[in-house]
Structures are given as C-alpha cells and as structure tokens.
Amino acid sequence: MTTEREEQVLRRIDRARRRKARVRDERITLAHGAGGKATHTLIEAVFLEAFDNPLLAPLEDQAVCPAGGARLAFTTDSYVVSPLFFPGGDIGDLAVNGTVNDLAMCGARPLYLSAGFILEEGFPVADLTRVAGSMARAAGAAGVRIVTGDTKVVERGKADGVYVNTAGVGVVEHGFTLGAGRAEPGDAVLVSGPVGDHGTTVMLARGELGIESDLASDTAPLAEPVAALLAACGEGVRCLRDATRGGVATVLNEIARASDVAVVLDESAVPVRDEVRGAAELLGIDPLYIACEGRMVVVVDGARAESALAALRSQPSGERAAVVGRVVAEPASLVLVKTEFGGTRILDVLIGDPLPRIC
C-alpha cells in the first residue's frame, strides 16, 4: 500500500529522472570513461547536445548512413588498455576486433579500417612493430583491410606508451534494422560465450593482485557469428550488442530502456568460467559488469531462440553460447535477475568503475 505522500515522492523522482542530462562535475574523472551512468551523462549533455542529428541520436555502437543506393555502417573507437600486452591478445588485436565488432552489431559486413597511433616519446619500436603485426593478423582473420592511418608523437609522460584509434566502414546488405529499441515481450536473450574473460585477464595481468591463472582475453571478431545468426534467424534477430565496458549488465539495461521492456535474466544460465568467478568473488565484483571483447548479447524472437543458439554454437569458441533470459513487458525499463539462490534482484547500470582502462 502506497500512501498519497509516498506517491508524491515517487512522482518527484520520476520527474527528476526525465530531466535532461547535465554534467555536474567541473572536470573529467575516470568515471566518465567507465561506460556507466557518468559516461552516458557526458555523451548526452556534451556530445549529443553539440552534434545532434538523426543518425547519431540512437547512440548505437555504429551509425548506419545512406550512401548512394547502399547503406554504410560507420564507427570509431579508441584503445588505451593497460598493460599493452596481456594473455590472449594486445592493444592491436583489441583495436581491430573492437571496431569490427561495432560494425558487426548492426549486421554489417566490415570492410575497411583506419588506424591512428598516438605514441609516447621513448616507446620501443619493437613493441610498436609487435602491435602492428597483431593488427595485421586480426584484420586478416576478420576479413577487413587497414587502408588509411595517422601517426603522432607526444612528449614523454604525456601518454602511456601507445594509444590506438581505429575507425571502420562496413556495408549493410540486409534490409532490416537492428537496434536496442527493438526488443519485444516474448523475445529471448542469449550470450555468445562465457562472460568477463577479457576484463578479468587484463586486471590479473597488471600483477597488482598477485593472483595467477591460465585465463586469456576473449578478444575475437564477431562478424562471422553475426552472419550465421542472420542466416539462421533473419529478421527474427532484434538486437545485437557486444558486451564491452560495463559488461552484459549495462548492455541489458540499455536494451530494457530503449525498448521500454523488462529483461529477466536467469543467473544460473549465464556462462562464467570458474577463474572469472573466483577472481570476481575475491574482489567483490559481479561478472555481469566485467567487460568482454569477443562476446555479444543477442535478442531474438522467442520462437527463434533454438535456431539462434544452434547458429552461435556452430561457431568456433561458441560452444558455451546460452539462452540466458527473456523479455517481458513489465516492469518496463528494468533488468531483473533470478538468482541461483532462488531470489530476485534488480540489475542496475554500472556506477563508478571497478576496472579502469581495460580496453
């Protein structure tokens, strides 16, 4: 039973929530880069405010732009991971796979990439050669070519070795639109493999925790799994998101809000490796918030869930893909978790940043 006074308070909160995003901070803090609430506020209040246009406004991982008769997918991403080299990959793999994946998430076939390097004075050329080699191999594996680029050098201490920016162009060859706003009650939610490997690997690679493990980053291109998924389910695929910063939890919250639906996640169905679970338990972090660099969240028509799962599992390293939840109508814009313990909890967007600079 809610009283009149409580109703008043709830209405006031709802009004405050709908108000235009405003950055309260006077300066940029690390939280603005974490992919959570602060990042969203910054993007909406500063960038969307300045650049507003219909192609940008959906704030998807990429823009789909009309060009002649074709539809081009266009995206960019910068990479500042620390350390530069970690088990399973390095900043070069990330820079190619991350941008390829942002293109793939709208169902585009990735074609061309640019590569920009900001180098710190004193950075070993051998390391740069190694990064470039990784980028070439990753581009080959993803079927894209790096066709243009840029190099800048800044004084020692003004950067941390090397930062890489990549932009990518792809072509959308199907006629429908994928997007976070397309989820409908009755849809199924899948993940393409175990979650949290990349973020945990990078954190352990920093050596601050003194934990050893065989864990490796999951960095991988997702264009092939997406093609398989679209071939199997066609327009039944509603939305694809790679679960990078903020992890699966943040992606699901974006989908729930954009589609005005609730997502119910079955915790026991979410694939998490024991190494990731163990590290997360020790540090008090939820694996659902840990970044992946080669895993995606898939929302499909519930009737196509089994074919979507089969398509994902047919892919290399897709054997642990799983149906992890479903979309329901109410309570709209919320992500709920059925816990392994038999309870429920609300899964909020990420606040703060448990693991800075993981990509």
Quote the least distance from Cβ 286 to other proteins, whole Å: 7
Q: Does 5 bind other proteins (CB under 8 A)?
A: yes
Spatial separation of the C-alpha atoms in residues 178 and 195, rounded to whole Å: 22
Q: Does 46 bind other proteins (CB under 8 A)?
A: no
Q: Does 25 bind other proteins (CB under 8 A)?
A: yes
- Residue 71 or residue 245: which is nearer to other proteins going by CB? 245
Quote the least distance from Cβ 348 to other proteins, whole Å: 6
Give the residue carrying structure tokens 């500042």.
80
Spatial separation of the C-alpha atoms in residues 296 and 321, rounded to whole Å: 10
Q: Does 331 bind other proteins (CB under 8 A)?
A: yes
- Residue 25 or residue 150: which is nearer to other proteins going by CB? 25
Residues 272 to 301 in contact with other proteins, rule: CB under 8 A: 274, 277-278, 281, 284, 286
Is 129 buried (19+), middle (13-18) or exposed (0-12) by CB count in 10 A?
Answer: exposed
Any idea what DSSP says for residue 70? E
The answer to whether the CB of 77 falls within 8 A of the CB of 205 is no
Quote the least distance from Cβ 313 to other proteins, whole Å: 23
Quote the least distance from Cβ 114 to other proteins, whole Å: 30
What tokens appear for 89 in the block?
Answer: 């990959």
Among 26, 155, 212, 214, binds other proteins (CB under 8 A): 26
- Total interface residues for other proteins by CB under 8 A: 45
Please, what is the end-to-end C-alpha distance for the chain in angstroms?
A: 47
Quote the least distance from Cβ 35 to other proteins, whole Å: 16
The answer to whether the CB of 164 falls within 8 A of the CB of 78 is yes
Spatial separation of the C-alpha atoms in residues 61 and 83, rounded to whole Å: 25
- Residue 54 or residue 342: which is nearer to other proteins going by CB? 342
Spatial separation of the C-alpha atoms in residues 243 and 251, rounded to whole Å: 6
- SS3 call for 98: helix
Q: Does 157 bind other proteins (CB under 8 A)?
A: no
- Residue 55 or residue 303: which is nearer to other proteins going by CB? 303
Give the residue carrying structure tokens 């892919």.
315
Site string for other proteins, 336-355 (x = CB under 8 A): xxxxxxxxxxx-x--xx-x-
Chain mean position to CA 270: 16
Give the residue carrying structure tokens 């109703």.
7
Quote the least distance from Cβ 192 to other proteins, whole Å: 23
User: Given the rule CB under 8 A, which residues bind other proteins?
Assistant: 5-6, 9-10, 12-14, 16, 24-31, 208-209, 262, 264, 274, 277-278, 281, 284, 286, 328, 330-331, 334, 336-346, 348, 351-352, 354
